[in-house]
């Protein structure tokens, strides 16, 4: 994670186990039941990064698949393909990539798709962008599965799993959530508001929509909590200080307090996300 608009492969790799553990199984059965029998099944992954969504979803689709991974970062797309060559995520799968800026909303690549998917993507886009996508998917009657949209909740936990509060948690969270709404090149970003806007807009376009929580649950003391927690604290601090530069010193002190407890294994974390399944009208 970074406060600018680049996504480092090491950040995406670090978050991948937490992302995969968070994804709700409950949306899988209705997804599989709604997908057409096409062979191969044509899947499009928006903002695919280095392929985390592919690695979670492809083994669960139980059929021959052709994936199109779309991202503006060619290095991430290349990493996704290399990993898939080395360790194919499903038995019968073809993977193609498209390096493009998704700010262009002609969405011509949607043609022929059976399933459009994305993970950790919608906080970056505007409500208008979702409107364009929802309209295009509704017209083409495409099933959609959108995973891991942050909902703006994060909470620190103590070793017993109870809430661990710091006087500046809420202040920093508010600064960070405001920073997330800055334009990232895809219109005024929804940030955490995407979690509510996405199902609402899809439903308005006639989709039958199901949402499930997909929060990261990171217990105090575990090595993944320490590693991910450190990166999160750095990202939250950097973004919050950019949002409230006159409070940078207060935010740095908050980061130091939280970091000290995290390093001692006394701090766990919950970070809220939602998954959304949208089925086109019958
Ligand atoms: C938070 S990462 C998520 C990556 C991946 N879906 C995952 O779950 O690990 C967001 C991705 O969106 C891509 N991205 C950001 N803005 C974009 C744009 N305007 N057009 C295409 N891709 C973009 C980034 O390069 C990055 O790979």
- What is the pLDDT at residue 2? 46
Is residue 2 domain-resident? no
Q: What separation in Å is there between the alpha carbon of 82 and the centre of ligand 1?
A: 18
Instruction: Please indicate whether residue 158, judged by its CB atom, sits closer than 6 Å to ligand 1.
Output: no
Is residue 3 domain-resident? no
Is residue 160 domain-resident? yes
Q: For 122-161, give the secondary structure using H, E and C.
A: HHHCCHHHHHHHHHHHHHHCCEEEEEEEEEEEEEEECCCC
Both tokens of 147, joined, read 């995973």
Both tokens of 101, joined, read 């800026």
- What is the pLDDT at residue 105? 84
Among 2, 49, 192, say which to mutate for ligand 1: greatest number of ligand atoms within 8 Å of CB. 49
Mode of pairing for the β-strands spanning 65-71 and 143-157: unpaired
Q: What separation in Å is there between the alpha carbon of 8 and the centre of ligand 1?
A: 10
- What is the pLDDT at residue 146? 98
- What is the pLDDT at residue 3? 43
- What is the pLDDT at residue 203? 98
Is residue 124 domain-resident? yes
Instruction: Please indicate whether residue 6, judged by its CB atom, sits closer than 6 Å to ligand 1.
Output: no
- What is the pLDDT at residue 238? 97
State the total domains in the chain: 1
Residue minimizing CA distance to atom 12 of ligand 1: 47
- What is the pLDDT at residue 1? 52
Is residue 4 domain-resident? no
- What is the pLDDT at residue 7? 80
Which atom number of ligand 1 is nearest to the Cα of residue 48?
6
Cα separation, 115 vs 145, in Å, equals 7
Instruction: Please indicate whether residue 53, judged by its CB atom, sits closer than 6 Å to ligand 1.
Output: yes
- What is the pLDDT at residue 9? 85
Q: What separation in Å is there between the alpha carbon of 122 and the centre of ligand 1?
A: 9
Is residue 48 domain-resident? yes
Residues 231-253 as b or e (16 or more Cβ within 10 Å = b) = bbbbbbbbbbbbbbeebeeebee
Cα separation, 188 vs 182, in Å, equals 6
Q: What separation in Å is there between the alpha carbon of 47 and the centre of ligand 1?
A: 4
Instruction: Please indicate whether residue 76, judged by its CB atom, sits closer than 6 Å to ligand 1.
Output: yes
Instruction: Please indicate whether residue 71, judged by its CB atom, sits closer than 6 Å to ligand 1.
Output: yes
Both tokens of 197, joined, read 């806007």
Domain that holds residue 66: 9-279
| Burial (CB count within 10 angstroms: exposed 0-12, middle 13-18, buried 19+), residue 178 | middle
Q: What pTM was estimated for this model as a whole?
A: 0.95
Instruction: Please indicate whether residue 17, judged by its CB atom, sits closer than 6 Å to ligand 1.
Output: no
Instruction: Please indicate whether residue 72, judged by its CB atom, sits closer than 6 Å to ligand 1.
Output: yes
Q: Which portions of the chain are predicted below pLDDT 50? A: 2-4
Q: Which residues lie across from 269 on neighbouring strands?
A: 156, 218
Instruction: Please indicate whether residue 119, judged by its CB atom, sits closer than 6 Å to ligand 1.
Output: yes
Residue 196 belongs to a domain with what CATH number? 3.40.50.150
Backbone angles phi, psi at 80, to 5 degrees: -60, -45
């Amino acid at each position: 994670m970074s406060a600018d608009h680049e996504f480092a492969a090491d950040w995406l790799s670090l978050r991948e186990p937490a992302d995969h553990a968070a994804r709700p199984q409950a949306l899988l059965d209705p997804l599989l039941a709604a997908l057409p029998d096409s062979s191969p099944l044509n899947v499009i992954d928006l903002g695919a990064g280095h392929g985390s969504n592919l690695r979670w979803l492809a083994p669960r689709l139980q059929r021959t698949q052709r994936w199109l991974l779309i991202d503006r970062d060619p290095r991430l797309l290349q990493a996704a393909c290399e990993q898939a060559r080395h360790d194919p995520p499903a038995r019968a799968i073809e993977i193609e990539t498209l390096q493009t800026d998704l700010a262009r909303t002609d969405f011509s690549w949607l043609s022929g798709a059976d399933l459009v998917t994305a993970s950790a993507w919608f906080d970056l886009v505007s409500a208008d962008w979702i409107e364009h996508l929802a309209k295009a998917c509704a017209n083409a009657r495409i099933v959609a599965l959108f995973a891991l949209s942050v909902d703006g909740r994060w909470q620190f936990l103590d070793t017993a799993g109870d809430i661990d509060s710091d006087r500046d948690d809420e202040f920093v969270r508010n600064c960070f959530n405001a920073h997330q709404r800055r334009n990232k090149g895809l219109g005024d970003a929804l940030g955490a508001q995407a979690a509510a806007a996405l199902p609402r807009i899809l439903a308005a376009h006639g989709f039958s929509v199901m949402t499930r929580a997909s929060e990261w649950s990171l217990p105090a003391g575990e090595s993944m909590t320490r590693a991910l927690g450190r990166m999160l604290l750095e990202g939250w601090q950097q973004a919050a200080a950019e949002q409230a530069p006159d409070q940078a010193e207060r935010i740095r002190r908050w980061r130091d307090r939280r970091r000290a407890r995290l390093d001692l294994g006394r701090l766990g974390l919950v970070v809220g996300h939602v998954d959304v399944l949208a089925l086109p009208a019958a």
